[in-house]
Amino acid sequence: MTCPWVFLCARIHQGGDNVTTVRRLLLTGLGLALVVTAVGEHFSRRAIERRVQSVAEGRRQLESQVRGVLGTHQQLTSDLAKERQRTQTLSAAVAERNTQLEKAVARIAEEEHAVRELHVRVATMQQRMDQLQGELAMAIQERKSTAKSADASAVELQRIVVSSAETPAPQGHVLAVHRDWNFVIVDLGWDAVKIGDTLSIFHDQELLAKAQVERVQEGVAAATILPQWQAADIHINDRVQL
């Protein structure tokens, strides 16, 4: 761009050219300048376009990356919501299981307590049965001793009285009263009563209660007092009649 002007200046200083030549040279220089300027602008515009395209491509890539990040974020948010729902479901299931386990443990504790109470009751009943067996044995021995020591004439008189009238129902007396277990021991054995018989218990002529025979041995029996027939307390030596 500088060379034509230098050449033009040299020609002017030399003074050997005419005005037309000068014009042509000026026009040529001006054209060259315009061409150079246009070429420079073209390359500058191309560079700017390339930069714009690069920026646009970078923007598109960035937008694509942003869309990918947003899609990943939405997927993670959806997965997190599903995991929270799953966690809540599992927590509810665990709470229900814990509740069922607590109920089962409480039920087992209650059953163990009931079993212990049953063991205690069985032991108490066994103790009562042992006591009853002892009392029955003592009553049998006492009955035998009383029978041996009885006066023979009184026995003969009793036989005469019994045979002179219609055979009465067997009668006896209360030997022992167990109010805790609601039964009595009477001096009527298997020759007079049997299991299932009902005994009436009197004091003088007053009916105190009725009892059902549960166990019978020689000379004695154990009978359970019937609650619906108990009108008053029973005492030893109260009269018993089948």
87-118 per-residue burial string, b: 16 or more CB within 10 A, e: under 16: eeeeeeeeeeeeeeeeeeeeeeeeeeeeeeee
Are 209 and 239 within 8 A, CB to CB?
no
Are 215 and 221 within 8 A, CB to CB?
yes
Which pLDDT does position 134 carry in this prediction?
65
Average pLDDT over residues 157-163: 40
Higher pLDDT, 162 or 227: 227
Are 198 and 186 within 8 A, CB to CB?
no
Sign of CA dihedral 185, 186, 187, 192: negative
pLDDT level of residue 23 (50, 70, 90 thresholds): confident
Are 236 and 198 within 8 A, CB to CB?
no
